[in-house]
């Protein structure tokens, strides 16, 4: 199935995209050394969603590209949390890796005072 650029991105989609970007960025910064390049996404301009530039290693860039593609393609409205969704869009290694990233980055934020993340984990 070919991807088509969407005319507009909803506020909920923007929030979800910011969250995935933040979590992958934290994970990459804390776990991967080496060359990192600014992230870009072909379906829309990331700067329209978050003005912060995100630089990632190649592995995390692939994961974030996959994650954003899955978010844009999500058929559900309203979109449930991926871990509670019946559809399970993420495949193979991507599913395991995004779980690892979300767990690591969520706990990273909780340990640094983001108690709202703790409430999210308890849902």
pTM beyond 0.85, yes or no? no
Residue for token digits 């193979």? 92
Confidence of residue 5 (pLDDT cuts 50, 70, 90): very low
Backbone angles phi, psi at 56, to 5 degrees: -135, 160
**Closest Cα partner for 14 from 72, 67, 94?**
72
Other CB atoms within a 10 A radius of the CB of residue 112 amount to 9
pLDDT of residue 7: 55
Percent of the chain residues past pLDDT 70, beyond the cut? 86
Sign of CA dihedral 18, 23, 24, 28: positive
State both tokens at 77.
């409205």
């Amino acid at each position: 199935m070919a991807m088509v650029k969407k005319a507009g991105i909803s506020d909920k989609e923007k929030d979800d995209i910011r969250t995935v970007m933040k979590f992958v960025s934290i994970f990459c910064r804390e776990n991967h050394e080496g060359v990192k390049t600014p992230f870009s996404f072909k379906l829309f301009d990331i700067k329209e969603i978050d003005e912060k530039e995100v630089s990632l290693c190649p592995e995390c860039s692939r994961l974030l590209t996959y994650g954003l593609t899955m978010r844009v393609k999500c058929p559900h409205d309203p979109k449930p949390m991926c871990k509670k969704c019946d559809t399970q869009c993420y495949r193979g290694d991507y599913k395991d890796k995004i779980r690892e990233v979300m767990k690591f980055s969520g706990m990273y934020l909780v340990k640094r005072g983001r108690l709202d993340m703790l409430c999210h984990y308890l849902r």
